[in-house]
A and B are shown apart, each in its own frame.
Chain A
Amino acid sequence: MPTTASTALPLKDVTASNSTLRRFLHGLPGVDAVGLEARAASLGTRSIKTTAKAYAIDLAISMVDLTTLEGADTPGKVRALGAKAVRPDPTDRTAPATAAVCVYPDMVAVAKEAVAGSAVKVASVATAFPAGRAALGVKLADVRDAVAAGADEIDMVIDRGAFLAGDYLKVYEEIVAVKEACGASARLKVIFETGELSTYDNIRRASWLGMIAGADFIKTSTGKVAVNATPANTLLMLEAVRDFRAQTGIQVGVKPAGGIRTTKDAVKFLVVVNETVGEDWLDNHWFRFGASSLLNDLLMQRQKLATGRYSGPDYVTVD
Chain B
Amino acid sequence: MASVSASPFSSAFEYAPAPESRAVVDIAPSYGLFIDGEFVEAAEGRVFKTVSPSTEEVLSEVAQAGEADVDRAVKAARKAFEKWSALPGSERAKYLFRIARIIQERSRELAVLETLDNGKPIKETRDADLPLVAAHFFYYAGWADKLGHAGFGTNPRPLGVAGQVIPWNFPLLMLAWKIAPALATGNTVVLKPAETTPLSALFFADICRQAGLPKGVVNILPGYGDTGAALVAHPDVNKVAFTGSTAVGKEIARTVAGSRKKLTLELGGKGANIVFDDAPIDQAVEGIVTGIFFNQGQVCCAGSRLLVQESIQDELLDSLKRRLSTLRLGDPLDKNTDIGAINSAEQLARITSLVAAGEAEGAERWSPACELPSSGYWFAPTLFTNVTQAHTIARDEIFGPVLSVLTFRTPDEAVAKANNTQYGLSAGIWTEKGSRILAVANKLRAGVVWSNTFNKFDPTSPFGGYKESGFGREGGRHGLEAYLDV
Question: Which A residues have a C-beta under 8 Å from some C-beta of B?
Answer: 29-32, 34-36, 38-39, 45-53, 55-56, 58-59, 62, 96-97, 99-100, 119, 121, 239, 270, 274-275, 279, 282-285
Contacts and interface: CB of A to CB of B under 8 A. Distances in A.
Contacts, number: 95
Contact of A50 (B4, B16, B336): B16
Given A46-B336, A49-B16, A50-B16, A36 B283 contact: yes
A46 B15 CA distance: 9
B282 A34 contact: no
A29 B287 contact: no
B13 A97 contact: no
A279 B326 CA distance: 12
Interface stretch (B257-265, B273-281, B375-383): B273-281
26 contacts: A30-B278, A31-B283, A34-B452, A35-B280, A39-B283, A45-B127, A45-B335, A46-B15, A46-B335, A46-B336, A47-B15, A47-B18, A47-B335, A47-B336, A49-B16, A52-B16, A55-B9, A55-B13, A58-B9, A96-B5, A96-B8, A99-B4, A119-B4, A283-B3, A283-B7, A285-B1
A39 B452 contact: no
Nearest to B10: A55
B392 interface: no
Contact of B452 (A32, A46, A239, A283): A32
A35 B8 contact: no
Contacts of A282: 12-13
Contact of B5 (A36, A55, A62): A62
B contacts with A: majority SS: loop
A230 to B, nearest CB: 16
A52 B9 contact: no
B215 to A, nearest CB: 41
Given A38-B286, A52-B15, A58-B8, 14 more contacts: A29-B278, A32-B280, A35-B283, A45-B123, A46-B15, A48-B18, A49-B16, A49-B18, A52-B16, A55-B9, A62-B5, A119-B5, A239-B282, A282-B12
A270 B13 contact: yes
Contacts of B18: 47-49
Nearest to B452: A32
Contacts of A121: 4
B432 interface: yes
A291 to B, nearest CB: 17
A101 B432 CA distance: 42
Contact of B453 (A35, A49, A275, A285): A35
Contacts of B13: 52, 55-56, 59, 270, 274, 279, 282
A53 B283 CA distance: 28
Contacts of A283: 3, 7, 9
Contacts of A29: 278-282
A46 B453 CA distance: 22
Nearest to B12: A279
B287 A35 contact: yes
Contacts of A46: 15, 335-336
A34 B453 contact: yes
A100 B4 CA distance: 9
Give the interface size bracket for B toward A: 20 to 34
Nearest to A236: B282
B435 interface: no
B4 A275 contact: no
A285 B4 contact: yes
* Residue from the set A49, A119, A121, A284 with the largest chain B CB neighbour count within 10 Å: A49
A185 B302 CA distance: 54
Contacts of A97: 5
Contacts of A56: 13
Contacts of B12: 279, 282
Nearest to B322: A242
Contacts of B4: 99-100, 119, 121, 284-285
Contact of A30 (B2, B15, B432): B432
Given A49-B18, A58-B9, A39 B280 contact: no
B121 to A, nearest CB: 11
A51 B453 CA distance: 35
A280 B297 CA distance: 31
B154 interface: no
Contacts of B123: 45
Contacts of A32: 280, 283, 432, 452
B11 interface: yes
A48 B326 CA distance: 16
A32 B282 CA distance: 9
* Residue from the set A32, A46, A55, A97 with the largest chain B CB neighbour count within 10 Å: A32
Interface string B334-356: 01100000000000000000000
Contacts of B11: 55
A240 to B, nearest CB: 10
Nearest to B8: A96
B14 interface: yes
Contacts of A96: 5, 8
Given A52-B13, A55-B13, A56-B13, A36 B8 contact: no
Interface string B6-50: 111101111111100000000000000000000000000000000
B271 to A, nearest CB: 18
Which 7 pairs between the two chains have the least Cβ-Cβ distance? Answer: A35-B283, A47-B18, A119-B5, A47-B335, A32-B283, A32-B280, A52-B16
A36 B283 CA distance: 6
A304 to B, nearest CB: 16
A307 B3 CA distance: 30
A39 B432 contact: no
Contact of A52 (B6, B14, B287): B14
Contacts of B335: 45-47
Contacts of A58: 8-9
A117 B11 CA distance: 27
B15 A31 contact: no
Contact of B326 (A55, A239, A275, A284): A275
Contact of B280 (A30, A48, A274, A284): A30
Interface in B189-222: none
Nearest to A273: B13
A132 B4 CA distance: 28
Nearest to A61: B8
Nearest to A200: B280
A214 B432 CA distance: 30
B214 to A, nearest CB: 40
A34 B280 CA distance: 11
Contacts of B14: 51-52, 55
Contacts of A275: 326
Nearest to B277: A29
Nearest to A282: B13
B16 A284 contact: no
A50 to B, nearest CB: 5
Nearest to B20: A47
A121 B5 CA distance: 10
Contacts of B282: 29, 31, 35-36, 39, 239
Nearest to B14: A52
Interface string B155-177: 00000000000000000000000
Nearest to A274: B13
Contacts of B280: 29-32, 35
